[in-house]
């Protein structure tokens, strides 16, 4: 067993990412030629933190600037990350959250669900955020005051009012009266968010509220949320809403409020370029003393096409099946069918299952038309149907997050390589 750094194919240079700096200690690499499955570093799975967050330095730097400016009371647009399924929106949002926590901000996160009001989830998330700040606050009565408002806000949730659910927030101060309890979400959110911002201001920090799957926030709630953020940006309160969602999220937001473009800076994330995809594989392997040949990296890039989920999936199986380091192109060839099988079940299949027979027909017709966004009229033509008769299937596929409207009259899959998967399925 030798100690040293493993040579990198392509002469790639070591580039410590932002994220790397956050978490990784520098230690010598133990080099051996075994590839131990127990130490497999790759992490395919929704929201699974990758061992190396590759190719996202620009977004991380932009978010640093947002945090710094908001903390200094400068006017700043918040960020919304968009992208296809599996490109790494959730893990980037989680990394942003860690960055805010490092700056001692209060943070909370929700995952939006279709047809679910954001009132209660937002209340719970802000409760978390303020709990993070409370121990450092010098005036406990300010915190209690805020918690009273928070409780009043949460109790206005329709399900709480109907008595169908219980919200037990563990807030033992009485609910406030006359603040954030009007029942109008726009007014209540504005009051709640500005009070939360006030608590953060006392401490010279900020609060960040993260919303994953933001395209699923019901239309009325999106509108209320934008209005509240707008109000907050005018008073310069140090509270930001940071979102992540599918590629059509910007159009959902601008359909709701025309000024949403001035509230959010959109960062579309996509597949990794060759260098970043190589880094995503090499850096974690290097820490375990394992290398890839450059032909293996060529084969992996060809298979995964730079999509982060696929990079993790192919990397994981290749590692498990490779007999020794360096992992070769032959190892990739041998392991690819298993990786594809796992993706077919876990990544594609689980989504396909959610569609009804009519929706599946619709998607098969889309797939036959190619991999670029397709015109809804062409799908109708391919199915020999009137476009209007297909609207229900299309709309529910959009609601299920399987397709999105790329621009007016055009639709596309939200899942990369989904067309290819469907073309390989029996109809």
Q: How far is the CB of 84 from ligand ATP (least distance, A)?
A: 7
- d(C-alpha 49, C-alpha 94), whole Å: 9
Tell me which of Mg ion, ligand ATP, none is bound by residue 83, counting a contact when its beta carbon lies within the kind-specific cut-off of 5 to 8 angstroms: ligand ATP
Tell me which of Mg ion, ligand ATP, none is bound by residue 289, counting a contact when its beta carbon lies within the kind-specific cut-off of 5 to 8 angstroms: none
Q: How far is the CB of 201 from ligand ATP (least distance, A)?
A: 32
Contacts for 212 with CB less than 8 Å, ≥ 6 apart: 89, 90, 93, 109, 110, 111, 112, 243, 244, 245
336, 328 Cβ separation under 8 angstroms? no
Q: For 89-184, where are the alpha helices, taking DSSP H only?
A: 89-102, 119-133, 140-155, 158-161
Our CB check for ligand ATP shows the closer of 105 and 413 to be 413
Residue 236 is encoded by which pair of tokens? 């310069």
- d(C-alpha 204, C-alpha 147), whole Å: 19
Encoded one letter per residue, x for contact with ligand ATP by CB under 6 A and - for no contact, window 43-72 reads: xxxxxx-x--xxxx----------------
Our CB check for ligand ATP shows the closer of 119 and 271 to be 271
**Span of 149-157, 227-235, 309-317, 403-411 interacting with ligand ATP by CB under 6 A:** 309-317
Interface residues toward Mg ion, by CB under 5 A: 89-90
CB atoms within 10 A of CB 97: 18
Does 326 sit near ligand ATP (CB under 6 A)?
no
- d(C-alpha 249, C-alpha 60), whole Å: 20
- For the sheet containing 239-245, what is the strand order? 106-111, 207-212, 239-245, 78-82, 264-268
Position of tokens 């797939």? 367
Does 349 sit near ligand ATP (CB under 6 A)?
no
Q: How far is the CB of 33 from ligand ATP (least distance, A)?
A: 25
Q: Which of residues 366-425 bind ligand ATP (CB under 6 A)?
A: none
Our CB check for ligand ATP shows the closer of 76 and 288 to be 288
Q: Which of residues 224-283 bind ligand ATP (CB under 6 A)?
A: 280
Among 41, 88, 108, 206, binds ligand ATP (CB under 6 A): 88
> Which backbone phi and psi does 142 adopt, to 5 degrees?
-65, -40
Tell me which of ligand ATP, Mg ion, none is bound by residue 55, counting a contact when its beta carbon lies within the kind-specific cut-off of 5 to 8 angstroms: ligand ATP
32, 325 Cβ separation under 8 angstroms? yes
Q: Which of residues 6-45 bind ligand ATP (CB under 6 A)?
A: 43-45
Our CB check for ligand ATP shows the closer of 54 and 192 to be 54
Our CB check for Mg ion shows the closer of 78 and 94 to be 94
Run of H or E residues at 285: helix 274-287
- d(C-alpha 49, C-alpha 66), whole Å: 23
How many residues belong to the site for ligand ATP (CB under 6 A)?
24
Q: How far is the CB of 69 from Mg ion (least distance, A)?
A: 26
Run of H or E residues at 223: helix 219-235
Q: In Å, how far from its chain's centre is CA 220? A: 22
Our CB check for Mg ion shows the closer of 110 and 205 to be 110
Residue 224 is encoded by which pair of tokens? 């209320």
Q: How far is the CB of 96 from Mg ion (least distance, A)?
A: 13
Handedness of CA 353, 269, 55, 70 (dihedral sign): negative
Our CB check for ligand ATP shows the closer of 90 and 256 to be 90
- d(C-alpha 110, C-alpha 94), whole Å: 11
Q: How far is the CB of 393 from ligand ATP (least distance, A)?
A: 21
Q: CA angle, 243 as apex, 391 and 16 as ends, to 5°?
A: 125
Our CB check for Mg ion shows the closer of 45 and 349 to be 45
For residue 249, is the peptide bond before it cis, meaning its omega torsion is within 30 degrees of 0? no
Tell me which of ligand ATP, Mg ion, none is bound by residue 355, counting a contact when its beta carbon lies within the kind-specific cut-off of 5 to 8 angstroms: none
Our CB check for ligand ATP shows the closer of 89 and 360 to be 89
Does 97 sit near ligand ATP (CB under 6 A)?
no
Strand partners, 405: 411
Q: How far is the CB of 86 from ligand ATP (least distance, A)?
A: 5
What are the residues binding ligand ATP (CB under 6 A)? 43-48, 50, 53-56, 83, 85-91, 280, 308-309, 311-312
């Amino acid at each position: 067993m030798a100690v040293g750094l493993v040579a990198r194919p392509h002469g790639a240079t070591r580039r410590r990412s932002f994220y790397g700096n956050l978490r990784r200690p520098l230690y010598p690499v133990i080099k051996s030629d075994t590839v131990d499955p127990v130490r497999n570093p790759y992490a395919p799975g929704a929201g699974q933190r990758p061992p190396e967050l590759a190719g996202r330095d620009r977004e991380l730097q932009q978010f640093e600037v947002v945090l710094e400016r908001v903390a200094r009371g400068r006017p700043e647009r918040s960020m919304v990350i968009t992208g296809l399924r599996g490109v790494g929106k959730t893990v980037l949002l989680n990394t942003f959250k860690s960055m805010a926590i490092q700056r001692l901000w209060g943070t909370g996160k929700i995952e939006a669900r279709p047809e679910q009001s954001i009132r209660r989830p937002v209340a719970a998330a802000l409760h978390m955020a303020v709990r993070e700040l409370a121990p450092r606050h010098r005036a406990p009565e300010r915190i209690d005051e805020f918690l009273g408002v928070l409780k009043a806000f949460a109790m206005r949730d329709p399900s709480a009012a109907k008595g169908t659910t219980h919200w037990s927030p563990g807030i033992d101060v009485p609910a406030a009266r006359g603040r954030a309890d009007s029942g109008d979400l726009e007014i209540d959110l504005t009051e709640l968010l500005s009070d939360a911002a006030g608590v953060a201001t006392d401490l010279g920090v900020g609060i960040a509220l993260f919303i994953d799957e933001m395209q699923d926030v019901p239309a009325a709630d999106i509108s209320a949320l934008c209005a509240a953020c707008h109000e907050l940006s005018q008073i310069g309160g140090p509270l930001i809403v940071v979102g992540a969602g599918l590629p059509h999220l910007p159009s959902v937001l601008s359909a709701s409020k025309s000024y949403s473009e001035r509230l959010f800076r959109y960062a579309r994330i996509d597949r990794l370029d060759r260098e970043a995809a190589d880094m995503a594989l090499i850096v974690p392997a290097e820490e375990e003393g394992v290398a890839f040949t450059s032909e293996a990296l060529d084969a992996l890039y060809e298979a995964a096409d730079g999509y982060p989920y696929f990079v993790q999936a192919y990397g994981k199986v290749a590692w498990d099946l490779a007999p020794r380091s360096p992992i070769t192109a032959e190892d990739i060839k041998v392991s690819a069918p298993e990786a594809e099988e796992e993706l077919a079940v876990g990544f594609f299949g689980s989504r396909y299952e959610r569609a009804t027979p009519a929706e599946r027909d619709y998607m098969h017709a889309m797939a036959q038309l190619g991999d670029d966004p397709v015109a809804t009229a062409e799908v109708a033509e391919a199915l020999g149907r009137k476009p209007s008769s297909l609207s229900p299937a299309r709309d529910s596929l959009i609601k299920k997050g399987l397709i999105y409207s790329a621009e007016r009259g055009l639709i596309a899959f939200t899942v990369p390589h989904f067309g290819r998967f469907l073309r390989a399925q029996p109809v």
